[in-house]
Amino acid sequence: MSQPVALRARGPLSALDASARRALDDRQSTTDPGVRARTAELIEAVRTDGDAALRQFARTFDGATLTSLEVPRAAWDAALTRLDAPVRAALERAARNIAAVHEAFRPQATVCTPEPGITVGRRPDPLQRVGVYAPGGRAAYPSSLLMGAIPARVAGVSEVIVCSPPGPDGLPSDVVLAAAALAGVDRVFAVGGAGAIAAMALGTESVPRVDRIVGPGNAWVAEAKVQLVAHVAIDAPAGPSELLVLGDATADAQVIAREMLAQAEHDPDAAVVCVLADDAGACTALAAQVETALAALLDAAPRADIARAALAARGGIVRVPSCADAIAFANAWAAEHLLLVVRDDARSDALAALRCAGTVFVGASSSVAFGDYMTGANHVLPTAGAARSYSGLSTLDFVRWTTWQEVTPDAAARLADSVGTFADAEGLPAHAAAARAWQTPVSREVAT
């Protein structure tokens, strides 16, 4: 018999006690004060000592003695050659899809003429240099490297660099180096953790300063990005992975259980919630079926301990009276990943109403795993409710917008008196004079 699943919340959402509701809603990363303080020390060491600090970090944290922080291109090519054929084929397929999707969503220049003779334009200018962080501690994530580097390339970024922790041999993992080769990055550095973020934000003798840093990482990496945000743009404040499943009585319990387990295995701090539209009690049995299916899957899961911890701390299967209530909960919760499994004729309206999610997976066959690796949509997404204001990584993150405006002499004459009046009202006489200088003689006489 399967071991019961310990969930932080279950039953009607309205019946949850305050503690359980807080556990579901509060997904902010509560960084240990020691992590904050130590991260600040590491950043200061990089600011002061540059490459020497990074070499010391490699010895201390990675057990690696580095003769050079930069990884030669020949090492990337060798890693790509050594890569198992099926893994290489999967990476290449993912790279093609990421490029295709992000090419389709490239930002475009626009021009507007609000009045005759006035032209206002806005164009996307690619950033000069971008840094991609690729984790390499307990797990290497070549998919995240592709998700960061390829959209930057599509957007036209001039230089893309990668930082990833070295192993004992002084090199990042083979699969990360292979992904760097496939993504067409410019430089790779065997630098990890908070030190890598500081190096890319501030610059060292070897690691150039970048305009934006993207890519996931552990608590030290996330904290370093937050502390350095005044020096460099980042993708978004990041926390543990999360999933919200929004379903109704037509949903498949096995599908929901599989998706919940897939996210829960990421991290003991992952947040995994299923909210069911329980019209007239139609989902009471489904909720129990999801728990039963989840318990059976956990019995055989290699990462069951991690998943159980996540479900006990921030997991839930809750019911609300209607689909409208489920959507309201979803928009307030603002999930990183949202799986929508409602009846076919309700999907379109539900999707249109879901305004706050990193990405929405529509239908049971749209597994979050497909988006993590292969659909081409980006998996670098806002967490902890940040989806209320942040979006997933895209080509928009790798450009800055230049606005330009042109006013013809005739239009300047027509604008002059109104602008002068506005400036007078704000107590800025030089502004008023600069505008009225363009009045025609006739309009000046009228104005006086």
- Please tell me whether residue 114 adopts helix, strand or coil conformation: coil
Task: Classify residue 352 by burial, with Cβ atoms within 10 Å: 0-12, 13-18, 19+.
Answer: exposed
Residue 273, pLDDT score: 97
The angle that helices 253-264 and 304-314 make with each other, rounded to 10 degrees, is: 100
**Domains of the chain by start residue, with CATH:** 9-25+239-378 (3.40.50.1980), 50-234 (3.40.50.1980), 408-447 (no CATH)
Residues of the chain with pLDDT under 50: 445, 448
Q: How many CA atoms lie within 13 A of 30 on its CB side?
A: 5
- Please tell me whether residue 72 adopts helix, strand or coil conformation: coil
Q: CA-CA distance, 325 to 332, in Å (whole number)? A: 11
Q: How many CA atoms lie within 13 A of 303 on its CB side?
A: 13
Q: CA-CA distance, 366 to 297, in Å (whole number)? A: 20
Are residues 29 and 337 in contact, defined by beta-carbon separation less than 8 angstroms? no
* Catalytic center residues: 336-337
| Phi and psi based region of residue 385 (left: phi greater than 0; alpha: psi -120 to 50; beta: remaining) | left
Residue 345, pLDDT score: 94
Give 405's contacts (C-beta < 8 A, 6+ positions apart).
118, 119, 120, 121
Q: What is the DSSP string of 414-427?
A: HHHHHHHHHHHHTT
* Interval 185-220: pLDDT, tens: 999 999 999 999 999 999 999 999 999 999 988 889
Both tokens assigned to 118: 């006035």
Are residues 329 and 32 in contact, defined by beta-carbon separation less than 8 angstroms? no
Smallest CA-to-CA distance from 62 within 135, 166, 176 is with: 166
CB 58: neighbour CB atoms within 10 A? 22
Task: Classify residue 142 by burial, with Cβ atoms within 10 Å: 0-12, 13-18, 19+.
Answer: buried
Which secondary structure element, helix H or strand E, spans residue 121, and what is its range? Answer: strand 118-126
Q: CA-CA distance, 148 to 398, in Å (whole number)? A: 10
